[in-house]
Structure 1
Amino acid sequence: MDIEFSLAMPRDAIGIPMVRRVLGDALRSLGVTEKCVSDILLATSEACTNAVRHGGPANRYEVMATIGSGRCELRVVDCGHGLDTIPKQYPPGDVENGRGILIMRAVVDEISFDITPGRGTTVRLRKELDWDEDAIAHHLTLAGQLAGV
């Protein structure tokens, strides 16, 4: 069972809670553990914040989600200028910005970037899902794996 959706959001911070609500509700309704949901939402918020901050001159960015096969995959796409480099370590403690990518790396299983200078950035996030014991979606996923689906 795959669930897919995309949201086209204004490049404004006001849309980030809406993305969190839609994605969080979808994951919770399937029975994903709250810890796993929290990790995914944290990484998604960071990716969306980067799209809002760095996605200009475009007025919008897009969030695409696929939930299925025991994992959640997200793409956050903006049409901004792109980053020159990806930070390898946390910035000094007295610096206010610059931790988002490192936070995303800490809470998801895979992260990748497709950066085209002057044309935008796609952030891909992937996390294997942890299920509540009584989650119907987990049982459907296991049954599909046993049946070879």
Structure 2
Amino acid sequence: MDIEFSLALPRDAIGIPMVRRVLGDALRSLGVTEECVSDLLLATSEACANAVRHGGPANRYQVQAAIDDWRCELRIMDRGHGLTAIPQQYPSGETENGRGIMIMQSVVDEISFDITPGSGTTVRLSKELDWDEDVIAHHISRDRQLVAV
């Protein structure tokens, strides 16, 4: 199984729930566990929020997803000024911003950044998929019934 899709969104927070819906529905329909889906949605939401907040002057950003039998890989790309540095620790409790990268790191297996100052940032998130055995068994049973007909 190989599924790929790409979304081009306005640089506005209104698009983040759409990304969550499309990605979440795709993963759930394949039989990925809810915990794994939640981790991917949290990381993706954080990356999209950063693209919305820091992706100017461009008015759009893009999300690309690739799902196979083992992994989900996401790329969130903006055309902003680019990060100057990746934080190495959580900010203090009084700080309102700056936790997104650390949150993403805590819920995915791999995270990387392709930063081109003045041209944008691509965040790559990758997570090994955990499968819901009950959903998989249901799909196999249904597929066998379809083949028998």
TM, length-normalised to structure 1: 0.91
Partner of 1:91: 91
5+ unaligned residues in a row in structure 2: which ranges? 141-149
Shift of 1:70: 1.0
Alignment of 1:101 onto 2:75: no
Instruction: Give RMSD over aligned pairs.
Output: 1.4
Cα deviation, residue 134, structure 1: 2.7
Tell me which residue corresponds to 1:49: 49
Q: Name the structure 1 match of 2:13.
A: 13
Structure 1 stretches of 4+ moved >4 Å: none
Matches within 5 A, 1:34-73: 34-73=34-73
Please list, as runs of the form range in 1=range in 2, the aligned pairs for 1:109-148 lying within 5 A after superposition: 109-136=109-136
The whole-number CA distance in structure 1 between the counterparts of 2:111 and 2:24 is 19
What are the superposed Cα offsets for residues 49-100 of structure 1, whole Å, 9 maximum, x if unpaired?
Answer: 0000000000000000000031100000000000100000000000000000
2:84 and 2:45 map into 1 onto residues whose CA distance is 21
Partner residue, 1:30 = 30
CA distance in 1, matches of 2:4, 2:86: 28
Tell me the distance in 2 between the aligned counterparts of 1:78 and 1:34.
28
- Which amino acid in structure 1 is aligned with residue 114 of structure 2? D
How big is each residue's C-alpha offset from its partner over 1:2-40, in whole Å with a ceiling of 9 and x where there is no partner? 000000000000000000000000000000000000000
TM-score, normalisation: structure 2: 0.91
- Tell which structure's C-alpha radius of gyration is larger: 2
Alignment identity in percent? 81
Distance 1:79 1:22 in 2: 23
Number of paired residues?
139
Q: Secondary structure at 1:134's aligned position in 2?
A: helix
